[in-house]
């Protein structure tokens, strides 16, 4: 055996050469849908995986709006929105959600208020989360026990009440005891105001806004 062959044999015997496949070092979930997940592999650009599809050693087994199951190096990992794993080990990250602007540049956020499903309009100009009196009655909120104030709307100055929402959820983000406002008239869509947004890190990249929970 030549000297070169002997050196190669010695390196293999000593583990100098790795013969295992190259698997993803890290994976983060940035979007969840039925049978699809938007993921970032090894810190790369987000891409969409369909159920059964394998990319860079990451296979999407199943997905819905709450979580996704992946197979990496023969091991199953189940992750929710904003979660990630590195080297096959799941790690807890701060919850986050990505929103896409509509044709008018507005961002809608699907979530829940006190456990009731609701779709908000992100409004950095609103000091607090604001809903109409009709919405408050729908979710059984005794808003008239709150502090009565006057609020300026597109329809002018109207009667409103300051309230406290027990829970506000947007995607995987959930916060408790959030200041809010119930407006008697002139509000057609719930507003996701700064009483919620102040607890987030907000990052906008073109038509995408990412909210990451700070506390």
**Rounded CA separation 152/168 (Å):** 23
pLDDT (0 to 100) of residue 24 = 52
Residues 209 and 128 both lie in one domain: yes
The answer to whether residue 186 scores a pLDDT higher than 50 is yes
Percentage of the chain modeled with pLDDT above 70: 83
- 89-132: pLDDT as tens digits: 555 568 889 999 999 999 999 999 999 999 999 999 999 999 99
Q: Across residues 167-196, what is the average pLDDT?
A: 94
Q: Residue 214, Cβ neighbours under 10 Å: how many?
A: 11
Do both 120 and 192 map to the same domain?
A: yes
What's the domain range around 78? 23-93
Long-range contacts of 80-83 (CB under 8 A, 24+ apart): 80/29, 80/32, 80/172, 81/29, 81/30, 81/31, 81/32, 81/171, 81/172, 82/28, 82/29, 82/30, 82/171, 82/172, 82/173, 82/212, 83/28, 83/29, 83/172
Q: Is residue 18 part of a domain?
A: no
Q: How confident is the model at residue 177 (pLDDT cuts 50, 70, 90)?
A: very high
> How many whole angstroms separate alpha carbon 97 and alpha carbon 32?
10
- Render pLDDT for 200-210 as a digit per residue (tens, 0 to 9): 999 998 899 99
88 and 186 assigned to the same domain? no
Share of the chain above pLDDT 90, in %: 55
Same domain flag for 86 and 114 = no
The reply to whether 104 and 205 lie within a common domain is yes
Q: Is the pLDDT of residue 181 over 80?
A: yes
Listed residues 73, 93, 113: the one ending a domain: 93
Question: Given phi > 0 = left and psi -120 to 50 = alpha, else beta, which region is 64?
Answer: beta
Cβ neighbours of residue 32 under 8 Å, at least 6 residues apart? 38, 63, 64, 65, 66, 67, 68, 80, 81
Residues 6+ apart with CB under 8 A from 51: 35, 36, 60, 61, 62, 63
Nearest to 178 by CA among 170, 92, 189, 186: 170
How confident is the model over 49-87, as pLDDT tens digits? 999 999 888 899 999 988 899 988 778 888 887 777 776
Give residue 214's pLDDT: 84
Tell me if residue 212 falls in helix, strand or coil.
Answer: strand
Q: How much is the mean pLDDT over the chain? A: 83
The pTM score is: 0.59
Domain boundary pick from 93, 112, 140: 93
> Residue 5 belongs to what H/E stretch?
helix 3-13
**Whether the predicted pLDDT of 11 surpasses 50:** no
Q: What is the pLDDT of residues 28-49, one digit of tens each?
A: 888 889 999 998 887 778 889 9
Most confident by average pLDDT, 9-13, 20-24, 170-174, 178-182: 178-182
Radius of gyration of the chain (CA): 24
């Amino acid at each position: 055996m030549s000297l070169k062959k002997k050196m190669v044999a010695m390196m293999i015997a000593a583990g100098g050469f790795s013969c295992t496949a190259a698997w993803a070092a890290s994976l983060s979930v940035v979007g969840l849908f039925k049978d699809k997940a938007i993921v970032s592999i090894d810190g790369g650009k987000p891409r969409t995986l369909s159920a059964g599809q394998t990319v860079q050693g990451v296979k999407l087994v199943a997905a819905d709006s709450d979580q996704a199951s992946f197979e990496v190096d023969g091991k199953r990992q189940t992750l929710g929105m904003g979660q990630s794993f590195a080297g096959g080990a799941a790690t807890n990250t701060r919850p986050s959600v990505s929103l896409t602007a509509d044709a008018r540049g507005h961002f809608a956020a699907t979530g829940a208020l006190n456990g009731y499903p609701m779709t908000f309009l992100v409004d950095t100009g609103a000091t607090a989360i604001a809903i109409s009196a009709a919405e408050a009655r729908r979710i059984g909120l005794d808003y008239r026990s709150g502090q009565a104030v006057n609020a300026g709307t597109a329809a002018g100055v109207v009667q409103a009440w300051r309230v406290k929402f027990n829970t506000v959820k947007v995607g995987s983000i959930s916060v408790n005891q959030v200041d809010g406002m119930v407006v008697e008239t002139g509000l057609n869509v719930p507003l996701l105001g700064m009483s919620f947004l102040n607890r987030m890190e907000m990052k906008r990249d073109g038509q995408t806004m990412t909210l990451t929970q700070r506390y």
